[in-house]
Chains A and B, each alone.
Chain A
Amino acid sequence: MKILVAVKRVVDYNVKIRVKADNSGVDLTNVKMSMNPFCEIAVEEAVRLKEKGVATEIVVVSIGPTTAQEQLRTALALGADRAILVESAEDLTSLAVAKLLKAVVDKEQPQLVILGKQAIDNDNNQTGQMLAALSGYGQGTFASKVDISGDSVAVTREVDGGAQTVSLKLPAIVTTDLRLNEPRYASLPNIMKAKKKPLEVLTPDALGVSTASTNKTVKVEAPAARSAGIKVKSVAELVEKLKNEAKVI
């Protein structure tokens, strides 16, 4: 089967971000960018399915600026076969991204689409679910285990009280949680080989998708800072402070 994996270029998870002084957004100039950690897990899962002989081709897609080609090359180095970039310089909402992915799904006809459960920049946790709704497919969100047999996929999901397993008819959409797998690193020879793998560039216009949105970000602020705390010398002092000063126990 063919698997489509969506990846996003985001600020590296170790970066301590700064809000712009004019409150228009987050300052991303000269900040290290990487593949969203949940997308790495999505790529890894697809590669493992290919290694098991379940998948025959892995197509990786990203929607974003020209520079997102770096993240697509990373995915190719990890084992994806070819890449598609839907180039857009705008900051797109999850719905717009889902519509663009739907157009790619229509074009590629994958049996399984794997996405991360959320991107660590906007923390939306929407795109996979929206893509599932638009394509009319079942969704296995927050997956910690994916098991394909015949024309269905069993997905074990991380839910609030524990774990839940659902069975979905293929084609289906899966979004990855942290514990689905441990992503591998790209080796140098594979990084070199990835440079020769095909990378197709499309535009929203070419796909006939409108990226108009009903949401507008009015302002971005830094969160309120916590006032500095104190260090206590002993457990006895800590208990005394919690009882008499903070009055929380």
Chain B
Amino acid sequence: MTILVIAEHDNKALAPATLNTVAAAAKIGGDVHVLVAGQGAGAVAEAAAKIAGVAKVLLADNAAYAHQLPENVAPLVAELGKGYSHILAAATSNGKNILPRVAAALDVDQISEIISVESADTFKRPIYAGNAIATVQSTAAVKVITVRATGFDPVAAEGGSAAVEAVGAAHDAGISSFVGEELAKSDRPELTAAKIVVSGGRGMQNGDNFKHLYALADKLGAAVGASRAAVDAGFVPNDMQVGQTGKIVAPQLYIAVGISGAIQHLAGMKDSKVIVAINKDEEAPIFQVADYGLVADLFEAIPELEKLV
């Protein structure tokens, strides 16, 4: 068995989610190859070659792959993937965008967002916003799978010494083009990889009040997240949303501030090791999953908490 892992990157740096995906591949067993598709992504391929347990890195460096448009990348992955037993990608916005297109091109069903590997053909994944866990078996010749990063501890980024092999194939479907992007800038840790996450909800009342959470987060070295209510109300940008339709996090500590705890929010954070809820409504559903609950006005509790940690 040989497994192809699609690297998650921005042409400059390898994203940490790749390490969790390689960890899932290691659980399946067999040789692990990593595909870096991009433009000017040589440094990413070198970083991928150093990942512990990676046997080979394929580098497809071409202008057509610069922004990883699925119309161009999916045919490349499908072509290379025919020789593999499994194709894995992280369940990031890129992975989710590209991999189903690969699966359809190979005429196989995909398994999305696995959280555990039971055997080489059987996997567990959450359904119904994480309220049920399905065990799914695949009979496909090539198993196409996205991996939920929080389900797997990352492998070491150093220690490997794989060879980098250039792939010449250039697929340019010519039906899509990149226009532009607006990326949110943040000096705090990345939400999905942070050890501590502080999240605010509708109870924050406005965007300005999030400064209290940022102050607390900076003291804790934490990332800041939000509920859908806070995003929809325009308090914070939507890439901060934690939940079924936002990001899935599983930090050591999750502090939910002014968040009631709707099913869709819990889907994104209930695998956190320790959950703290701060809410003035003692009936809020968030207290049912919180390890430590504090019924208090967040505008008093958060500054005090910041002082004490």
Residues of A at the B interface (CB closer than 8 Å) are: 11, 13-14, 16-17, 19, 26, 93-95, 98, 117-118, 120-134, 136-139, 141-142, 144, 154, 157-169, 172, 177-179, 213-223, 226, 229-232, 234-236, 238-239, 241-242, 246, 248-249
Q: In the complex, are the beta carbons of B134 and A220 less than 8 A apart?
A: yes
- Find the A residue at minimum CB distance from B75: A133
Q: In the complex, are the beta carbons of B132 and A134 less than 8 A apart?
A: no
Q: How far is the CA of A165 from the CA of B238 in the complex (A)?
A: 15
> B55 contacts the other chain (Cβ, under 8 Å)?
no
> B163 contacts the other chain (Cβ, under 8 Å)?
no
Q: In the complex, are the beta carbons of A118 and B294 less than 8 A apart?
A: no
Closest-CB distance, A46 to chain B (whole angstroms): 20
**Binary flags per residue of B53-93, CB closer than 8 Å to A gives 1, else 0:** 00000000000000101110010000000000000000011
**Binary flags per residue of B114-141, CB closer than 8 Å to A gives 1, else 0:** 0000000010001111111111111110
> B205 contacts the other chain (Cβ, under 8 Å)?
no
The residue from A117, A163, A220, A232 contacting B132, defined by CB atoms under 8 A apart: A220
Q: In the complex, are the beta carbons of A94 and B110 less than 8 A apart?
A: yes
Within 8 A of A (CB), among B84-114: 92-94, 96-105, 107-113
Closest-CB distance, B198 to chain A (whole angstroms): 11
Closest-CB distance, A165 to chain B (whole angstroms): 4
Q: How far is the CA of A168 from the CA of B173 in the complex (A)?
A: 11
Give the residues in chain A near B220, CB-CB below 8 Å. Answer: 249
- Find the B residue at minimum CB distance from A216: B137
Ranked 5 nearest A-B pairs via Cβ = A129-B100, A133-B104, A130-B104, A214-B140, A126-B100
Q: In the complex, are the beta carbons of B132 and A125 less than 8 A apart?
A: no
Give the residues in chain B near A134, CB-CB below 8 Å. Answer: 104
Within 8 A of A (CB), among B173-222: 173-184, 192, 196, 220
Q: In the complex, are the beta carbons of B74 and A133 less than 8 A apart?
A: yes
The residue from B109, B139, B276 contacting A95, defined by CB atoms under 8 A apart: B109
Give the residues in chain A near B135, CB-CB below 8 Å. Answer: 217-221
Q: How far is the CA of A94 from the CA of B70 in the complex (A)?
A: 18
Closest-CB distance, B61 to chain A (whole angstroms): 21
Closest-CB distance, B196 to chain A (whole angstroms): 7
Give the residues in chain A near B177, CB-CB below 8 Å. Answer: 166-167
Given contacts A17-B128, A95-B110, A217-B135, A141 and B97 within 8 Å (CB-CB): yes
How many chain B residues touch A (Cβ–Cβ < 8 Å)? Answer: 89
Q: In the complex, are the beta carbons of B305 and A93 less than 8 A apart?
A: no
Give the residues in chain A near B287, CB-CB below 8 Å. Answer: 229, 231
Closest-CB distance, B81 to chain A (whole angstroms): 13
Q: In the complex, are the beta carbons of B129 and A123 less than 8 A apart?
A: yes
Closest-CB distance, B148 to chain A (whole angstroms): 11
Q: In the complex, are the beta carbons of B101 and A129 less than 8 A apart?
A: yes
- Find the A residue at minimum CB distance from B252: A248
> B293 contacts the other chain (Cβ, under 8 Å)?
yes
Q: In the complex, are the beta carbons of A139 and B97 less than 8 A apart?
A: yes
> B158 contacts the other chain (Cβ, under 8 Å)?
no
- 7 residue pairs of the A-B complex, CB under 8 angstroms, read A129-B96, A138-B176, A165-B181, A167-B177, A222-B131, A234-B294, A239-B309
Q: How far is the CA of A94 from the CA of B107 in the complex (A)?
A: 11
Q: How far is the CA of A167 from the CA of B133 in the complex (A)?
A: 37
> B304 contacts the other chain (Cβ, under 8 Å)?
yes
The residue from A19, A94, A159 contacting B109, defined by CB atoms under 8 A apart: A94
Q: Report the stretch among B25-33, B37-45, B267-275 that lies at the interface.
A: B267-275
Q: How far is the CA of A216 from the CA of B231 in the complex (A)?
A: 37
Q: In the complex, are the beta carbons of B292 and A241 less than 8 A apart?
A: yes
Give the residues in chain B near A166, CB-CB below 8 Å. Answer: 67, 69, 176-179
Given contacts A139-B71, A238-B305, A249-B196, A220 and B294 within 8 Å (CB-CB): no
Given contacts A161-B183, A235-B304, A121 and B176 within 8 Å (CB-CB): no
* 18 additional A-B residue pairs with CB within 8 Å, beyond A179-B231, A231-B287: A17-B128, A94-B100, A123-B128, A129-B101, A132-B101, A133-B100, A142-B93, A159-B94, A160-B192, A169-B175, A178-B245, A213-B109, A215-B139, A217-B134, A218-B136, A231-B282, A238-B276, A248-B196
Q: In the complex, are the beta carbons of A168 and B305 less than 8 A apart?
A: no
Give the residues in chain A near B296, CB-CB below 8 Å. Answer: 235
Give the residues in chain B near A161, CB-CB below 8 Å. Answer: 183-184, 239
Q: How far is the CA of A78 from the CA of B203 in the complex (A)?
A: 33
> B2 contacts the other chain (Cβ, under 8 Å)?
no
Q: How far is the CA of A158 from the CA of B182 in the complex (A)?
A: 10
- Find the B residue at minimum CB distance from A142: B93
Q: In the complex, are the beta carbons of A129 and B182 less than 8 A apart?
A: no
